[in-house]
Amino acid sequence: MSLTSSTPSDSARSASLAARSLAVLPVHSRNNALTAIHDALLSAKPTILDANAKDMSLATTASKDGSLSASLVKRLDLSRPGKYEDMLQGILDVRGLPDPVGQVSLRTLLDDGLELERVSCPIGVLLIIFEARPEVIANIAALAIKSGNAAILKGGKESSHSFEAISRVISEALEKTEVPNAAIQLVKTRDVIDELLQLDRYIDLVIPRGGNELVRFVKEHTRVPVLGHADGLCSVYLHADADVEIAKRVVVDSKCDYPAACNSAETLLVHEEVLGTVLPTVAEALLQRGVSLLCDARSKEVLREKLPSDKAVLLQDTGETDYDTEFLDLKIAVKTVPAVGAANGTAHTSDPSLDLAISHINAHSSGHTDSIVTQSKEAAEYFMSAVDAAGVYWNASTRFADGMRYGFGTEVGISTNKIHSRGPVGLEGLTIYKYKIRGSGQVAGEYGAGKKAYKHEKLDL
């Protein structure tokens, strides 16, 4: 790993060359590098937390005068209980996972002595641009090395002290390993993002980790494929037969567990029939946790009847854009899904209300994670098939959308892309595959109409 002050183009070119060596490095060499990083970060914890404290103090000041959002400050804090340990554990988890490189996903006998094989391999060079969340450096370095990819890291100015401290530690740790020096590059030079984004000759994938604006900026300024999500607009839908206790647990956790996270719920859809039965309990629990409820007319009307007056008075109205807003805050937009009788001619569902909820989600959610609360397996399965999102859950909190929670060790980010990787992206998401053919002089001209025929026999993996 090098802390580089060279030009973006030199960095990218040397990363690209390093990626070739890394791609053929055996897994034990890659794992040894992870051990080295882990051990070094463990010993350097006090130094790194000191550096992080400097960033926090600057950020807290900036937050007070309004130039930095409170949620960004929260993401920056490495001293939150368990955060440093989670970062370290993530490295060990990644080390313990099976090698994602060299996995065979298809084998076909094309003809006698002519075998086709599809094998996973690294993508090449990743460019990771991030704002806060300094622990991302460790996650990304671990995932990149294990998956055989080179990575260029560009951190934001808010986390610059933490970033430098962590990268110095990683850099020294890697010097004693077989991972080529240029495989993980830390670009410290300022104002080079535009230039980096033009280097599609060397860079294979950009992963922006940060707010919507960063992601949008990146998407608009590069031809390199971008992996990530701009918005995390997640919804929870309470169906007509939702269990009140499950509804309360799922909605409260989805909204309140960590409101600044992309997998927090921003919209609560409620079937008309449970406005007076399930919603009041859910609403009361949310109000108790300090959540502002932005309600449509129908849900507000029912809630005002059902809630104690000191609670009812807290209800607010939805504005025009509330169903399209990622609040990242203790706010949730409530919408009533009308009870509609079974329609004639709808082939694949017998419940038009469910279709209305799904249509709302497909039109307004960001394809991140959406959850249904229902006792009906049929409704749940239909919802999970028809909602077009990276995560579709039944009776579970949207907050489960996370690489660590999914068992991926850690993640480079959560993708709402509909190509390559979707949802939390771990090791598998950082690989692609190549097709190998092993023959003994076979040529295509021998096959075809009136000539030899392909066997296309599926072989065991």
Label residue 92 left, alpha or beta by phi (over 0 means left) and psi (-120 to 50 means alpha): alpha
Asked whether 294 and 255 are in contact (CB, 8 A), the reply is no
Cα(54)–Cα(157) distance, integer angstroms: 12
Q: In the block, which residue shows the tokens 């959850």?
A: 371
C-alpha gyration radius of the chain: 25
Determine contact, residues 275/315, Cβ cutoff 8 Å.
Answer: no
Cβ closest to a copy of itself, residue 73 vs residue 265 = 265
Query: What six digits make up the tokens of 402?
Result: 């996370």
CB atoms within 10 A of CB 458: 9
CA distances from 30 to 23, 42, 436 (A): 10, 19, 24
User: How many CA atoms does the CB half-sphere of 238 hold within 13 Å?
Assistant: 34
Question: What SS3 class is residue 3?
Answer: strand
d(CA 166, CA 91): 14
Q: In angstroms, give the least distance from the CB of 318 to a copy of itself.
A: 23
Nearest-CA neighbor of 373 among 234, 233, 241, 232? 241
Report DSSP state, residue 342: P
Q: Minimum distance between the CB of residue 431 and a copy of itself, rounded to whole angstroms? A: 10
Smallest gap from residue 238 Cβ to a copy of itself (A): 12
Neighbouring C-alpha atoms within 13 Å toward the C-beta of 411: 20
Instruction: Show the beta-strand stretches assigned E in 200-343.
Output: 205-209, 234-238, 265-271, 292-295, 316-317, 331-337
Q: Which is nearer to a copy of itself, 211 or 409 (CB)?
A: 409
The residue (of 63 and 235) whose beta carbon lies closer to a copy of itself is: 235
CB of 376 to a copy of itself, least distance (A): 13
| Shortest distance in whole angstroms from residue 274 CB to a copy of itself | 16
Q: Which is nearer to a copy of itself, 302 or 427 (CB)?
A: 427
Nearer to a copy of itself, 23 or 339 (CB): 23
Instruction: Give dist(CA 46, CA 51) in Å, integer.
Output: 9
Residue 115 in contact with residue 460, Cβ under 8 Å? no
* Closer Cβ to a copy of itself, 305 or 454, answer by number: 454
Nearer to a copy of itself, 195 or 296 (CB): 195
Asked if residue 307 lies in contact with residue 283, where contact means CB atoms within 8 angstroms, the answer is: yes
Q: DSSP secondary-structure letter at 59?
A: H
Taking the least distance from each CB to a copy of itself, the nearer of 314 and 384 is 384
In terms of CB distance, is 45 or 447 closer to a copy of itself? 447
Taking the complex as a whole, the smallest distance from the CB of residue 308 to a copy of itself amounts, in Å, to 25
> In the complex, what is the shortest distance from the CB of residue 362 to a copy of itself, in angstroms, rounded to a whole number?
7
Query: Please, which residue, 234 or 302, has the CB nearer to a copy of itself?
Result: 234
Q: Closest separation between CB of residue 393 and a copy of itself, Å? A: 4
8 A C-beta contact, residue 395 and residue 374: yes
Buried b (16+ CB within 10 A) or exposed e, 38-70: bebbeebeeebeebbeebbebbeeebeeeebbe
Alpha helices in 65-98 (DSSP H): 70-76, 83-96
**Cβ at position 101, least distance to a copy of itself in Å:** 9
Residue 320: burial class (beta carbons within 10 Å; 0-12, 13-18, 19+): exposed
Q: How far is the CB of 382 from a copy of itself (least distance, A)?
A: 8
Minimal distance in Å, beta carbon 23 to a copy of itself? 7
Nearer to a copy of itself, 313 or 347 (CB): 347
